[in-house]
Amino acid sequence: MARPDNVRYLATHEWGRLEKDGTVVIGITDFAVEQLNDLTFVDLPEKGDKVEKGSAFGEIESVKAVSDLISPVSGKVVAVNDTVSENDFGALKKDAFGAGWLIKVKPDNAKELDGAKSAADYEKQLAEEAH
């Protein structure tokens, strides 16, 4: 699967995309969804909460593991995708880069996203992890 070029990636398999309105949409990659496999629970922040670049803003659980969700930017949560819940992970499994987004953040500094990996660099990381 070709991953979107308009997204920046973290080594921990989260992604961020700067929108025209200046917000950053954050989610987890299709690779992370596939690795976690049988998702059972997600804990996301509330609208209005602050997130910090490089820090956990929530967690996602599967029958195999519990993983922190790491933010690629600092800022204020302006939206939470409540269609992604412990009752329904369908959007996340079908469309990790679209309908499966997790939170939207009004960043303190959108340039923080530039420090994350490009799609090509993320693909290289995945290829290295496979060996």
The pLDDT tens digits of the residues spanning 109-124 come to: 999 999 999 999 999 9
Q: Compare 107 and 2 and report the one with higher pLDDT.
A: 107
Query: What are the phi and psi torsion angles at 9 (to 5°)?
Result: -120, 145
Q: How far apart are CA 28 and CA 32, in angstroms?
A: 6
Does 39 map to a domain? yes
Does 126 map to a domain? no
Does 119 map to a domain? no
Counting the structural domains of the chain, the total is 1
**Helical H runs in 49-103?**
90-94
- Which CATH number is 42's domain given? 2.40.50.100
Per-residue model confidence (pLDDT) at position 86: 67
Confidence of residue 126 (pLDDT cuts 50, 70, 90): very high
Per-residue model confidence (pLDDT) at position 85: 74
The pLDDT tens digits of the residues spanning 23-81 come to: 999 999 999 999 998 899 999 999 999 999 999 999 999 998 899 999 999 999 999 99
The pLDDT tens digits of the residues spanning 71-124 come to: 999 999 999 998 887 668 989 999 999 999 999 999 999 999 999 999 999 999
Does 130 map to a domain? no
Does 123 map to a domain? no
Does 115 map to a domain? no
Per-residue model confidence (pLDDT) at position 129: 85
Sheet holding 14-18, edge to edge: 8-9, 14-18, 24-28, 103-107, 75-80, 50-51
Does 120 map to a domain? no
Structural domain span for residue 88: 8-109
Does 86 map to a domain? yes
DSSP 85: B
Q: How far apart are CA 17 and CA 129, in angstroms?
A: 24
